[in-house]
Structure 1
Amino acid sequence: MKKTFSDEDLVKNMSLYHLNRHLKKKPIEKYHRSIDASALHDREKYKKKAEILLLNSFMHHFPDVKFENFTCESPDFIAKLNGKKIGIELTEVINHLEMKKVESCLNKIFRQAEILLEQEDTTKYRGVYFLEFNTHFKLDNPQFQQEIILDIYKSIRKKTPVGCVKKIRKSSHRRNVFITHEYNLNLFDELCSEKILELIEKKNEKFPYYDTSVDECWLVIVSDMNSLASRYTFIQNRENLAEVKSPFHKIFHLENLCGNITSIKA
Structure 2
Amino acid sequence: MTIIEKGLNIAQTVAHGASRDYPYNHLIRQRPESYRISNPAPENTLDDLLSVINKDGASLKPFKSQLGIDKTEILKFYVAFADQHRLPFSENLTQILKQAEELVGTIEHKFREKGRPITITEQLNIALELFKGDLSKALINLAVATRAVARGCDTRLVPQIPTPPSRILNWQKVAAPFGFSPHDEDPAGDTYHFWEAMVLAISACERDGLYNRFTGTIAEFMGRITPEATEILRHKICRKEGKTHPEADILGFEIGKALALILPTSQ
Whether these two folds match at TM > 0.5 is: no
- Which gives a bigger RCO, structure 1 or 2 (Cα 8 Å, sep 6+)? 2
Structure (1 or 2) with the larger CA radius of gyration: 1
TM-score range, shorter chain: under 0.3
State TM-score, norm by structure 2: 0.24
